[in-house]
Chain A
Amino acid sequence: MKFTKKIIPWLFLFGILLYIGCDKVNNPQYNIDDTSCNECGRCIQICPVDAIEFGPNSKAVIDQTKCNQCGRCITICPKDAIY
């Protein structure tokens, strides 16, 4: 178990470096950090294309088929949960 404790952080650090180092996609895509979302629903009210609704754990979820990447939800979110 001690070995597991030691190896896991290093595996994730390796993963992080790998991801940060690779190229970025051309089409942006917004997502919601469900641990930060406080279920206030302000992003749902402001979304001009109705692309956000409450998901399984009552946190807001973006429907990527409808989202037009306008970014309005980023500004309105009081918990800065959009990324």
Chain B
Amino acid sequence: MKKIFIILLLTTFGIGQFSALTNWSQLSLNYFSTTAKDNIDIVTGASQNANNINTKGKFGVQYQHEVTGEINDKISFDVKEDVFYSDKSHEQRNSFLVNDLRVKIFYQTEFTYFKFQFNNRYYDSGETNFLNLPGVEQGTQQQTANNAILHYKHDVGKLNFNIYTSFRDLEYKYIVLSKIEDSKDEEEEGNRAKSASDYDIYSLGKITFNISDAFRIFSRTYLKNDLNKSSELDETELGGGVEFEKRLDFFNSIFSRFSYYNLDSKAIGDLFTHNLLTEIRYTKRFLFPLAGFVSYKNRSVYDDTQSKLLRVSNLVRVYLKYSYQTQNILDSYVLAGIKYNPENNGNMVFGEFNQFLLNDLYLTAGVKFAPELFTLYSGKLEYYFSSLKSIWLKTEYTDFNNKSGQNIISLGSTLIF
């Protein structure tokens, strides 16, 4: 807890010496309740132990802060902090405190981009459930994840080089049976917690050649090395593809990508050796108030043994938003959309509207209906003191197909300075 306060202080005041700073902060008080009667299916968003932990009302506090700024015209940074403390367990981890810190530093010129990023995620240890993490001892209490990322991009003529590497360290505890030192009985065994780490490295190398303003071809290699387990959880991808991106006119733009890669991994299996990815996105802006897009993504594999193309997942997304100007701080809007993803039960329709009630008071209401998973109803009442300061009251009720429900009521404030 002490560490988190130090990080918060550094985030808020420590980098205040830089001139061009933008701060975004949000503080909210949350109240959770569920109507679970039995253990809830793992697919739902509620805790498996909802009956014991979450049925009664629980309170929580969340504080989020983001600072962005420029050190000079080439170097900028972005620091994000998200602290969540609650009586309610954090889903399956049963963790009551989660702290998420992300620090990014960018160096950017006309032809060069370099990024260093450090992420730290901390879960309190006391009550954390035992998880089965792949590649490490079974029955672990995960406590901290550290992630250091380096990303470099450089343009040379029509070529673009893209190199990325990420080192991840998971710190966890696991329980072993061992002799109890103080015991008079030499055979007596007890549980003893031991600490250990799991290390992974993810690397990407990509070369893109710009054939014309709109057409590009690329070749890429992606490697994952698990430094603890010999090679069972390693992964190698090798492939390439073609991209087309064009703004047809002021109102229409199109992006498409087709790629193939060969995947080699014992953990994933031979079925996913030959992978095909197709992506197309068409964005349309009608006259000012109306805009939308249609996108399609497909992942398929070619199965050597059956000599057949098999689909892994399809995603079709249609989205339309109508904005209308008011005489107030913000515009109001109505939006609606469809997500079609039959392979992973992800079909969904959703809609939302935002309407000013009085001068600076806005009401937002929305519904998301995913027939195989849940229905989410949301409502938010927000009062703006200015375009940079507001307070709000929000409620979200999720109905997991009549098996259970989860309600979250939040009272919060947003401040940009």
Do A83 and B90 form a contact, CB below 8 Å, given A25-B312, A53-B166, A65-B234? Answer: no
**CB contact under 8 A between A72 and B295, given known A5-B248, A8-B256:** no
Distance in angstroms from A1 CB to nearest chain B CB is: 9
- Does A74 sit at the interface, judged by CB under 8 A? yes
Contacts of A22 in B (CB 8 A): 300, 308-311
Are the C-beta atoms of A29 and B299 separated by less than 8 Å?
yes
CA distance A82 to B147 in the complex (A): 22
Pick the residue among A30, A41, A65, A68 that contacts B344 (CB under 8 A). Answer: A30
B52 near A: Cβ within 8 Å? no
The reply to whether B133 and A31 contact each other, CB–CB distance below 8 Å, is: no
CB distance from A42 to the nearest CB of B (A): 10
Chain B residues near A38: list those with CB within 8 A: none
CB of A3 closer than 8 Å to a CB of B:
no
Contact A25 B348 (CB under 8 A): no
Contacts of A82 in B (CB 8 A): 344, 346
- Those of A5-63 within 8 Å (CB) of chain B: 5, 8, 12, 15-16, 18-20, 22-25, 27-31, 33, 35-36, 41, 44-46, 48-51, 53-56, 58, 63
User: A83 to B121, Cβ gap below 8 A?
Assistant: no
B117-A54 in contact (CB<8A): yes
| Stretch in contact with the other chain, from B28-36, B38-46, B324-332, B381-389 | B38-46
Q: Are A70 and B43 in contact (CB under 8 A)?
A: yes
B268 touches A65 (CB 8 A): yes
Residue B134 CB within 8 A of the other chain: yes
Which residue of B is nearest A16, CB measured?
B296
A36 to B300, CA, bound (A): 20
- Interface membership of B373, Cβ < 8 A: yes
In whole angstroms, how far apart are the Cα atoms of A29 and B308 in the complex?
18
CB nearest neighbor in B for A28:
B344
Taking CB atoms, residues of chain B closer than 8 Å to A51 are 134
Residue interface bits A72-83, CB-to-B below 8 A is 1, else 0: 101110001011
Interface residues of B (CB under 8 A from A): 42-45, 82, 90-93, 98, 100, 102, 104, 117, 119, 121, 131-135, 142, 145, 147, 149, 151, 162, 164, 166, 168, 170, 200, 202, 204, 224, 226, 233-235, 244, 248, 254, 256, 258, 265, 267-269, 271-272, 278, 280-281, 295-301, 308-315, 317, 339, 341, 343-346, 348, 350, 368, 373-374, 398
A-B contacts, 28 of them at CB < 8 A, read: A8-B244, A12-B280, A15-B258, A15-B278, A16-B278, A16-B298, A25-B271, A33-B295, A41-B102, A45-B98, A48-B91, A48-B132, A53-B147, A55-B202, A56-B162, A56-B204, A58-B117, A63-B202, A64-B265, A64-B268, A65-B233, A68-B134, A71-B43, A71-B344, A72-B43, A80-B348, A80-B350, A83-B339
Closest 5 CB pairs of A and B: A83-B315, A65-B267, A75-B45, A56-B164, A66-B134
11 new A-B contacts at CB < 8 Å, known A64-B265, A71-B344: A22-B308, A24-B312, A27-B269, A33-B297, A36-B317, A50-B142, A54-B147, A63-B200, A64-B272, A75-B43, A75-B45
